[in-house]
Chains A and B, each alone.
Chain A
Amino acid sequence: MTDSLTGGGSTGGSLVGRNLLAGAEDDPAGDAGHTGHPPRVGFFTDTSVCIGCKACEVACKEWNAIPEDGLDLTGMSYDNSQGLGASTWRHVAFIEQSKPLGHAHADVDHSGTDVLALAAEIPTGSAAAQPHAAGAPDAPGPPEADGRTELRWLMSSDVCKHCTHAACLDVCPTGSLFRTEFGTVVVQEDICNGCGYCVPACPYGVIEQRPHDGRAFKCTMCYDRLGAGQEPACAKACPTDSIQFGPLDELRERAEARVTQLREAGVSDARLYGHDPDDGVGGDGAFFLLLDDPEVYGLPPDPVVTTRDLPDMWRHAGAAALALLGGLAAVFAAHGRSTATTRRFRR
C-alpha cells in the first residue's frame, strides 16, 4: 500500500491498476496479505421479513459480552437502542409509515365485520373450516376521514457493513483495525489507543469510542465464532432468517433473486443496498434489502470511502506546504538582510 499510494487517480482511486483505496475489488483479504484464506463472508439482511424482535441485538450483546448502554424509551416507535455505537453492534430500526406494503390492503375497512358472529359460524369439531365469503373483504374500503388507516411498519436490523474499502481501517494509525482472513474488519482491543480517528471516518456511523473505556468498538462479525466454523450470533438467533450469513457471492445471488421475487409480488419499493461492488465503498460485506430509501433507515444514500480522495488530499496539502515555505522565503528575500544601520537610518 505504501509504495503504490503516490500514483493514485483522484476519482477512480485505482492505484497503479489496483483498486486499493476505492473501486471494485475481488479479494480484500488477499490484498491484505492473507494467503489460502477462506471465501469472503458477509450478512444479507432482508428487511422485508424482519419482525423487529431484537433477538439479534440480544444475541450480539450476550455473545460478545457488550455492556449495557442505556434502556431508553425514545419515542421512536419500538426503537430503544437508537443507533449503532460502541456498545450497540446490532440495531433494529422501526419506521412507521402511511403507505401500503405491496399488494397488501392495509386500508380495508373492517368496521362492519362482527368477528364473534363469524367465529360462531365456524363449525366446531373435526370438520374443516370453510372459507367464509363475509370474512374475505372483496374490495378495499374507503380510508377513514383522517386518512391514517394505511400503515406499514418497516423494521431493519442494522450492523457494521464490513466495507470492501473500510475507511476506519485505512485511517487507523496504530494498525489496531485489521482485515481478517474472512474479509471482515475487526478492532484489536489490545492495540487500540483510543485516538478516535475511525469514528468520524466511518461513512455509516458504526464504530464509536466507549465512554470510560476510551477504545473504539464495533461488530466483529463474531470473529471467534467464524474461526470455529459457526455463524455469527445475530444470524443464528434470527427467527425469520432476515439476517442471513454466508459466502458473499452466494448472498448476492440470493439477494438478487429475492428482490426480483418481491418486485413481482408488487413490492415495487424493494431494492438492494450495499450490494454493488462498484459503489463508493467497493460494496459492503453486510448488505441489505430495503423497502424505502436508505436515508429513511438512517443509512447514507451514497456513501463514499473518504480515503478514495486521499492521494488528492496529500497533493493539495503538499502544494499548501510548499506555498508556505516558498511564500515565507519570498517575503524574506524581498525584505533582504537586516542591518542595524539601515534600520536606524530608515527610522
Chain B
Amino acid sequence: MSGDADAHRGQGEDVRHNGHRPYGEIYEDPARLRRDGSISDVTKDGVRGERPGRAALVGGHDLTGGRGERGAAGSGGRHRGGRAGRKRRKGEQPMVPEAEFTSYYGRPVLNQPAWKAQNIAGYFFLGGLAGAGSVLAAGAELTGRPVMARALKVSSAASIAGSAAALIHDLGRPGRFVNMLRVFKPTSPMSVGSWLLAAYGPAAGTAGLCAASGRLPRLGRTASVGAALLGPAVAAYTAVLASDTAVPAWHDGYRELPFVFVGSAAAAASGAALLASPLAENGPARTAALAGTALENAAVKTMERRLGLVAEVYREGGGGRWMRAAEALSAAGAAGAALLAGRSRVAAGVSGAALLAASACTRLGVFQAGMASSKDPKYTVVPQRERLRAREREQQQSRAGARHGASDGEEARD
C-alpha cells in the first residue's frame, strides 16, 4: 500500500490482489517491477514461473527463442529437460532420458482421487496384516503353536475391523456403505473386495472371538480355517484395486503389485507374530518374515524396472521417501528376525515392530507414488506418446518391409 514500489519487494503475489494502489505505482515500468520481484510475474500471456504445477506449456516448441522464460513473452512451451538437470539426485544416472512433452498449462490429465492416505493406505496395510495373519494363525494352530495362533487370530480380527472402518470412513457417503452389496461385479475390484470382506470379516471375527474367549473351540477352528483360505485373497486383491485405475504408477505395475502386497502382508503378519509369540514358537514367523521381505523387495525392484519413466515416483518425492523408509525398516526387521529373534525376546519384538512399520511404509509409499503420478501430466502423456510412436514405427517398418524386403538403413537410423 505504500507509495514506494521497493516496499513490495519479495512479496510477490500479494500485491497482485491489491487493487487500491496509487496510480503512480501502477504506471511504473512493469518489466522492472517484475525483475525486482515486486509484482507477480503474470503477463497478458499467462503466468511465468509462479506455480510449479504449471511449468509445462502448450505448443510443443520453445517459443521463447532460447532466451529463457523470464520476461520472454509469447505463449510458448518450455522443455521439461531444462529443469531436470538440477533435480537429479547426486551420483545417479537418469534411468530414462529426460522427456519432452506438452500439456495444457501443466494441468494433470487425470483427476486425483479424493482418497485420504491414512484411510486407503491404512486399509491396504490392515487388510494385508489380517489376511496373512489368518494364514499364519491357522499354520500355528495346526503345528502346535497355541500362543502365536491366538495372538494372530485376535490381531486379524482387530485389523479387518479397522480396515473396514477405514474404508467406510473414506466414503463420501458413509451411510450408504451397504450399497456396496447391491450388486456383484467382477469388473469392479471394489465390489469383489466388498463381498470378500463380507465373507472374510465374520470368519476372522469369529476366529478371533473364540480364540480370545476360549469358548466354542470347534466353531473357532472352522472359522480360522475359513479365514486362512480367504486371507490370501484379502491380502492380494487390494493390489488389483489400485491397479485397475488409470493412475500410471499403479496400473502399469499391475503384474508386480500383487506380489509387493502379499510380500508386505506376510512380513507384517510375521512381525505381529514375532511381537506376540514366545521364542519357542516363533521359528516359522522368522522364516516367513525373511521370505515376505525378500518377495516384497524383489517385486518392487522388478516393478520399477518395468515402469521406466514412471518409476520416478517410487524413488522421488513423498512416494520415494516412504519406499526408502520401508526398505530400510524391512532390511532391519528381516535381519533382526533371522539373526537375533531366535535368542532374545526383546530383539524379536523390536524386529516385529520394524516389520510392521515397514509394511505400513510400503503401503503409504505405493499410495503416495500413485497420487504423484496422477498429478503430473508427464507420467500420463510421455508413456502414451511413446506407445503411439512405437506403434507408428512398427506400422512403417511393416509397410517398408513389405515393399522393399529388408531395409536396414531405416532401422539403423531409428
Contacts and interface: CB of A to CB of B under 8 A. Distances in A.
Interface string A187-217: 0000111111101111111111101011110
Contacts of A316: 239, 254-255, 257-259
Contacts of A206: 111
B73 A148 contact: yes
Given A146-B65, A201-B244, 15 more contacts: A98-B74, A173-B194, A193-B179, A195-B190, A202-B246, A310-B244, A313-B239, A313-B243, A316-B255, A317-B239, A320-B258, A331-B288, A332-B142, A335-B284, A339-B144
Interface string B264-299: 011000000000000111011001100100010000
A298 interface: yes
A151 interface: yes
B46 interface: yes
A147 interface: yes
Interface of A: 1-2, 5, 21, 74-77, 79, 82-85, 93, 95-99, 146-148, 151, 167, 170-176, 191-197, 199-209, 211, 213-216, 292-293, 295-303, 306-307, 309-310, 312-314, 316-325, 327-329, 331-332, 334-340, 343-344, 347
Contacts of A171: 187-190, 244-245
A203 B110 contact: yes
Contacts of B58: 95-97, 296
Contacts of B59: 95, 97-99, 292, 296
A205 B381 contact: no
A293 B179 contact: no
A320 B262 contact: yes
A337 B144 contact: yes
Interface in B277-323: 279-281, 283-284, 287-288, 291, 295
Contact of A337 (B143, B266, B377): B143
A197 B250 CA distance: 13
B132 A324 contact: yes
Given A21-B187, A196-B114, A318 B109 contact: no
Contacts, number: 324
A320 to B, nearest CB: 4
A193 B262 contact: no
A213 B172 CA distance: 7
Nearest to A82: B107
28 contacts: A74-B105, A76-B107, A96-B45, A97-B58, A97-B63, A97-B75, A98-B75, A146-B73, A173-B185, A174-B176, A176-B179, A194-B172, A195-B170, A195-B172, A196-B113, A200-B246, A202-B111, A205-B111, A295-B385, A298-B107, A301-B388, A312-B254, A313-B189, A313-B244, A321-B232, A321-B262, A325-B229, A340-B280
Contacts of A332: 139-140, 142-143, 284
B261 interface: yes
Nearest to B269: A328
Contacts of A201: 244-246
A331 B287 contact: yes
B262 A324 contact: yes
